[in-house]
Amino acid sequence: MPNFKKIKVKNLEKFVTECFVKSGMSEEDAKITADVLISSDKRGIASHGVARLKRYTDGIKKGVMKPKANFEILKETNNTLLVSGNDGLGQPVTYKVMKLVIEKAKKNNVAFAAIRNSNHYGIAGYYSMMALRENLIGISMTNSFPLVVPTYGKNALLGTNPISVAAPSNKEIPFLLDMATSTVPRGKLEVYDRQGKKIPDFWATDTTGHPTDDPGLVLNNVKNKLGGGLLPLGGATEETGGHKGYGLAMIVEILTGILSGGAFGPFVYGKPNEPANVCHFLGAINIEAFIPLDEFKNALDSLISILHNSEKAEGQQKISIHGEKEFKRENEQKEFVEISDIVLANILEVGKSLGVNSKL
Amino acid sequence: MPNFKKIKVKNLEKFVTECFVKSGMSEEDAKITADVLISSDKRGIASHGVARLKRYTDGIKKGVMKPKANFEILKETNNTLLVSGNDGLGQPVTYKVMKLVIEKAKKNNVAFAAIRNSNHYGIAGYYSMMALRENLIGISMTNSFPLVVPTYGKNALLGTNPISVAAPSNKEIPFLLDMATSTVPRGKLEVYDRQGKKIPDFWATDTTGHPTDDPGLVLNNVKNKLGGGLLPLGGATEETGGHKGYGLAMIVEILTGILSGGAFGPFVYGKPNEPANVCHFLGAINIEAFIPLDEFKNALDSLISILHNSEKAEGQQKISIHGEKEFKRENEQKEFVEISDIVLANILEVGKSLGVNSKL
């Protein structure tokens, strides 16, 4: 198990921002990208935090991510946007387009954007939370590297394709769902593999297409495209509902890759030394177009409180609401964030190679 | 196992319509409701077909469903609608509001409606398919009787809350997801119970909150509100992803019951002899606001064909796309539809009690 160090958030922000600036990004875009990564760490989602820094700076070095790409609005109406990220990093384009979506939703009740030619955008929930802070319902989804097998298929053809929806509450912690449409994301297999643990049989399949309990085998197979992969939410069969998770992954491919005119399914990261063409879909719904905001928030409070206070299953202590643990963790880590020594060594190495001056 | 009889669709339509007219509905609303039910039978979804006729005519008799309710637009913008069904049947209001949503989406790119004070609306997919036929992306969801337990909870507090999304293809059969956010709907337990079969342990829990293999026990417990219920998609634990299905059920409660100012969670069908206050959410997205329609359809064709033609897991013959089986079945049952003799006897009894003249 790794040790964790408490790092001052302000220092980490400065350091990560400088890494991106030294990689060729503008100060503004570097700051946005740093904030998305560090927010993830603050919320306790280390897999999508600064641990990803090296993948991004490497992507820029290889030329598959463009540090100076300015996104382009290809088509615009009063409530829709079609955008090309022009192969830039996913965070700056998505952040800026979500701002426009929020503006449009405030003026015109609902708004959606489809973004193509982008890259990994961090946690889906970062962008739905931007709408949440403006008292809107926020929607964010993205396609991703094809790791997931369709029900009864052998090969990974769909991404883990997360869906995030956020909705504002009043006294209670707000609702924030941010879920991969696979039973688990790849990172979970990596954790089990490192700990030498077996995985349950709804998580992944081997090269025959049958469930396996060996996480290392799966990771190797998907890396080398040998067959098998992660299972959709619901597991390997229709009996356990696997076709539903597969259907949710399809919805994400349709709204992101297909609706944007970008890459979908196996075409995402389809060519080794070319840009990934990851695609996103963003939305915001103005609650006031339907009912008074306070009425909505109080009703959500009421549902949350009913769930919290209802009887637990035998042996259980708590019924959680989606996002609750992460909002609490974020609140604890406002000034200092825990980073594992492995990740810390990794990002210090990145900083050194880029000639970064700021200290952690 | 029941026997099936082939019934002429035209006769069934006439018969069911007359049942609703004799119950006090207008000819127009009766026809719409009959079509939603019979479409479900045609598509092979018997649980939501004319087998439900008696529940509706009984609901009308009891006074909890109003046969002559005219729906009311409570708030309207160029891309949103807030509607009260005024305790009428779910089908007529949802059909008519979906027509308005489609019109708005064609003019204004995207449109959404939240409907409250409604009733069971049949298959969610009926309404998303209305948008599909107009070459739009269609969205339909509804809350429902609280049958589903939150992860680690003991009591059923959320509906099976189906989500449907439809998207148009070109040469391939279109995409139509229509899924309960529980692992299985209640009807599946009824089937297993009748056949004396045990259920897998991701489907339902007993009164302690632990998974059970006894479908009859669960049906009795939920009917008498003794505790336990259906499990969300993903099963009983976070390890198998149950919190994700629970999160999807929450999204549906938020967009239907909460956004419409109607009933949510345990308040749906909350008072025995009063209207159910079921709530729906409808949406349509005009593809042309993003990319040319043909480009979208061809891309979806391409994804569907890649999935169809990709290698199968060992022992499997087919990778299905969502809605495929049902569209094929519908095509076979254009003129004659198979109805089980049990359902047939049941609806003939309804007809007799209402003094219906048309024959099956």
Q: Is residue B296 part of a domain?
A: no
State the average pLDDT for chain B.
97
Coil/strand/helix, residue B113: strand
- Amino acid A12: pLDDT: 98
Q: Does the structure show a pLDDT above 80 at B54?
A: yes
Helix A53-62 / helix A341-354 crossing angle, nearest 10 deg: 30
Short-list A307, A326, A328, A290, CA closest to A136: A290
pLDDT, average across residues B255-265: 98
Nearest-Cα distance to chain B for A276, in Å, is 17
Which chain A residues touch B318 with a CB distance below 8 Å? 152
Distance from A131 to chain B by nearest Cα, in Å? 15
User: Taking CB atoms and an 8 Å limit, are B245 and A233 in contact across chains?
Assistant: yes
Give the A window 26-45 contacts with B, CB below 8 Å. none
Q: Give the pLDDT of residue A234.
A: 98
For residue A296, list chain B residues with Cβ-Cβ distance below 8 A.
258-259
Q: How many helices (H) and strands (E) does chain B have?
A: 11, 11
- Our CA-based measurement puts residue B266 at a distance from the nearest CA of chain A, in whole angstroms, of 9
What pLDDT does A124 receive?
98
pLDDT at B29 over 90: yes
When divided into structural domains, chain A yields a total of 2
What's the pLDDT at A156? 97
Single residue among B210, B230, B250 that ends a domain in this structure: B230
The string of pLDDT tens digits covering residues B279-292 is: 999 999 999 999 99
Token pair, residue A173, equals: 């912690």
A31/A61 same-domain check:
yes
Judged by CB atoms closer than 8 Å, whether chains meet at B310 and A108 is answered as: no
Q: Based on the fold, state whether residues A150 and A215 are members of the same structural domain.
A: no
Q: Distance between CA B314 and CA B316 in Å, rounded?
A: 6
- Please give the Cα distance from A136 to A127 (Å, whole number): 12
Residue contact B312–A154, C-beta within 8 A: yes
Q: In the prediction, which pLDDT does A33 show?
A: 98
Q: Do B137 and A255 touch (CB under 8 A)?
A: yes
Residue B349, pLDDT above cutoff 90:
yes
CATH code for position A179 = 3.30.1370.60
Task: Tell me what pLDDT residue B272 has.
Answer: 87
Domain range for B212: 185-230
Quote the pLDDT of residue B191.
86
B237 lies in the same domain as B332: yes
For chains A and B, CB pairs below 8 A equal 256
At residue B270, φ and ψ (nearest 5 deg) are -75, -25
**B93 found inside a domain:** yes
**Partner B contacted by A303 (CB < 8 A):** yes
- Fill in the amino acid letter for B330: E
B141 — pLDDT class (breaks 50, 70, 90):
very high
In a domain, A314, yes or no: no
How many C-beta atoms surround the C-beta of residue B83 within 10 A?
26
Answer yes or no: do B153 and A310 touch at CB < 8 A: yes
Lowest mean pLDDT among A310-319, B183-192, B201-210: B183-192
Instruction: Output the pTM of the full model.
Output: 0.98
Q: Is residue B334 part of a domain?
A: yes
Does B136 lie in the same domain as B71? yes
Q: Is residue A338 in a domain?
A: yes
Q: Are strands A204-205 and B72-76 parallel, antiparallel or unpaired?
A: unpaired
Same domain, A179 and A198: no
ipTM over 0.95: yes
Cβ contact B165–A289 (<8 Å): no
- With contact defined as beta carbons under 8 Å apart, do A29 and A92 qualify? yes
B142 located within any domain: yes
**Residue whose entry in the numeric block shows the structure tokens 């609650």:** A287
Task: Answer whether A167 sits within 8 Å of B258, measured CB to CB.
Answer: yes
Between CA A28 and CA B126 the distance in angstroms is 47
Q: Residues 145-204, chain B: which have Cβ within 8 Å of A?
A: 149-155, 157, 165, 167, 175, 177, 179, 183-184, 200, 202
Of residues B201 and B298, which shows the higher confidence score?
B298
Locate tokens 């992306």: which residue?
A: B137
Confidence grade of residue B194 (pLDDT, cut at 50, 70, 90):
confident
User: By the 8 A CB rule, do B149 and B228 touch?
Assistant: yes
Mutate to test the interface with B, among A254, A295, A296 (most CBs of B within 10 A): A254
Chunked mean pLDDT (size 10), chain A, 360 residues: 92 98 98 98 94 97 96 98 98 98 98 98 98 98 97 98 98 98 93 92 96 96 93 97 98 98 97 96 98 98 98 97 98 97 96 95
The torsion angles phi and psi of A8, rounded to 5 degrees, stand at: -65, 125
The single-letter DSSP state of residue B267 is G
Instruction: Mark whether A337 and A284 lie in a shared domain.
Output: yes
